[in-house]
Amino acid sequence: MTAVRGTTVDVTTADGVADAYVAHPDGDGPFPAVLFYMDAFGLRPHLEKMADRLAAEGYLVLVPNVFYRAGRAPVVELPDFIDPAARPGLFEQIMPMLRSLTPEGLMSDARAYLGWLADSPLAAGGPVGITGYCMGAGLALRTAGTYPDRVAAAAGFHGANLASEADDSPHLLAGEVTAELYFAHADQDSAMPVEQIDRLEKALTDAGVTHRCEVYAGAHHGYTQADTAAYDAEAAERHWTELLALFERTLTP
């Protein structure tokens, strides 16, 4: 098992300072870089464990606190295990932060995250990979479309509203994407209904994007998150298989 180092860093953005977790294999590198976008529950020990697992495969992984404008992580106090009874109270705190985020601000932040990775002496040169979960899947797609020269691959898992009818829906950036994309939806997920799955597929296909979209049968929104009741071990392992294969194909070893 590859030894991994993890630490907290600060990333200066146009709007302040975003705290972030960084993980990488033991050693000086350089390592291919990955930007890891959190789900709505935020930067927390479970996401750090996921970053560590990815780092153990040979990557430098940056997990920013997307909610940094509201405070350093943990922005919301979370239980060790998030069950359905806890969700309403948590989302009362989370939703105002979500609504305060704008595509412009998020992509300004993305520029800072990508810049931090580009400047890190631990990072190998060249475009990065991105993985995102829940809200992070939309950020992965949006970042790939906003900074196509900086992104070689992007993946999103149990994404929410990736192809809505909103004027700023992430799928509208499909024509700008040059990265290889992979999306894994859950078939028990009201946040990404069939019509949006079809709309995303059509947008990527029409734009000529190299991509694959799959639906994991029986999985629920949040299936990768082992600290929640939505966790599905089989679907989570399938996600790891596909994510690592994507990065092996597209990122410099």
| Alpha helices for the chain (secondary structure H) | 45-55, 87-100, 103-119, 135-146, 194-206, 233-250
Q: In what order do the strands lie in the sheet with 128-133?
A: 4-13, 16-25, 60-64, 33-37, 128-133, 151-157, 180-188, 211-220
CATH of 4-250, one of 3.40.718.10, 3.40.50.1820, 2.40.30.260, 3.30.230.10: 3.40.50.1820
- Quick: pLDDT tens for 169-206: 999 999 999 999 999 999 999 999 999 999 999 999 99
- Nearest Cα neighbor of 60 from 123, 128, 153 is 123
Instruction: Give catalytic residue positions.
Output: 134, 189, 221
- Quick: pLDDT tens for 24-70: 999 989 999 999 999 999 999 999 999 999 999 999 999 999 999 99
- Nearest Cα neighbor of 41 from 212, 227, 251, 238 is 227
Give the β-pairing of 16-25 and 4-13: antiparallel
What is the structure's pLDDT at 253?
Answer: 57
- Quick: pLDDT tens for 214-234: 999 999 999 999 999 999 999
In the chain, where are the structural domains located?
4-250
Which pTM was predicted?
Answer: 0.98
